[in-house]
């Protein structure tokens, strides 16, 4: 179904993103904006975590207070203005995995932090009955509202039953393509759904002049005489060249 993935596919995505977060946290970096829009795909469908514009150095035991990120992915301690630490990234990963599996967010986004915080704190985060017990357990530990009790380390992440008989060896994972992504790439409507604006590569209408749409309109030349044939310059007006007043010349020399 479009908009959601099977648990087998989510398992691969979760393992790769968990490794990415573990790598960053070991180097004292908190991402603070883990979300779908910041996940890139390789040709074989594997994930790359991108956009470190909100990231910052935060050593183990450090605390941050800046309210930043994307509101529907933000942990409750981030929404409240801190203090928070690397555990906030694992909460965002839980929201992401929930969304990949269901096709929707566990809590609809609110327009401001205060109302979103109230909803997050009061929401029970009920796991759909369609989820396996292993995935339900993983999400319940990632979406724990108390940061100190939340799953917040790669070692604990790897020990989850959801990853039983799965590998966290990135080299081995990269060798096997993610089949569902390759299938989606071959869909006939992929180009129309993925494009942003009109592109020449699609060419859905034969003989249509795309250049007239993609090229900016020409800037009218004031020296062109509209009564003359197209492209012919009108003769210059008689008389001496116009001189700027002394005051304007001085002002022009200052700002040019």
Domain assignments of the chain as residue spans, ordered by start: 7-194
pTM higher than the cut 0.75: no
CA distance 160 to 149: 15
- Which CATH class name applies to 7-194? mainly alpha
Q: What is the CA 36 to chain-centroid distance, rounded?
A: 5
Q: Is 251 left (phi over 0), alpha (psi -120 to 50) or beta?
A: alpha
Taking only the tens of pLDDT, the chain with its 256 residues reads 356 899 999 999 999 999 999 999 999 999 999 999 999 988 888 999 999 999 999 998 899 999 999 999 999 999 999 999 999 999 999 999 999 999 999 998 888 889 999 999 988 888 899 999 999 999 999 999 999 999 999 999 999 999 998 889 888 888 888 888 878 777 666 666 555 544 444 444 444 443 443 444 455 544 444 444 444 444 445 555 555 444 444 433 333 3
- Residue in 8, 26, 33, 155 annotated catalytic: 33
The model's pLDDT over 50-61, given as tens digits with 9 standing for 90+, comes to: 999 999 999 988
Q: Is 33 a catalytic residue?
A: yes
Closest listed residue to residue 49, CA positions, set 85, 73, 78, 13: 13
What sign for the dihedral angle of Cα 46, 178, 98, 156?
Answer: negative
Q: What are phi and psi of 13, to 5 degrees?
A: -60, -40
Residue range 185-237, pLDDT digits in tens? 776 666 665 555 444 444 444 444 434 434 444 555 444 444 444 444 444 45
């Amino acid at each position: 179904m479009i908009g959601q993935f099977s648990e087998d596919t989510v398992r691969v995505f979760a393992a790769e993103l968990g490794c990415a977060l573990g790598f960053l946290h070991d180097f004292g970096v908190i991402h603070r904006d883990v979300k779908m829009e910041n996940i890139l795909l390789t040709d074989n469908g594997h994930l790359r975590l991108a956009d470190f514009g909100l990231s910052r150095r935060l050593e183990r035991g450090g605390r941050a207070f800046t309210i930043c990120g994307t509101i529907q992915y933000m942990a409750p301690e981030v929404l409240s203005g801190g203090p928070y630490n690397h555990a906030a990234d694992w909460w965002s990963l839980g929201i992401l995995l929930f969304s990949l599996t269901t096709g929707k967010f566990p809590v609809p986004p609110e327009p401001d932090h205060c109302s979103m915080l109230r909803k997050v704190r009061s929401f029970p985060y009920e796991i759909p009955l369609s989820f396996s017990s292993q995935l339900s357990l993983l999400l319940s530990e990632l979406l724990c509202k108390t940061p100190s009790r939340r799953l917040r380390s790669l070692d604990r992440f790897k020990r989850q039953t959801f990853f039983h008989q799965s590998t966290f060896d990135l080299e081995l994972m990269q060798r096997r393509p993610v089949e569902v992504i390759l299938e989606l790439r071959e869909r006939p409507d992929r180009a129309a759904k993925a494009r942003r604006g009109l592109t020449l590569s699609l060419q859905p209408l034969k003989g249509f002049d795309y250049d007239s749409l993609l090229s900016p309109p020409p800037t009218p030349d004031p020296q062109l005489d509209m009564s003359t044939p197209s492209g012919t310059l009108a003769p210059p007006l008689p008389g001496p060249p116009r001189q700027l007043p002394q005051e304007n010349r001085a002002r022009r020399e200052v700002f040019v």
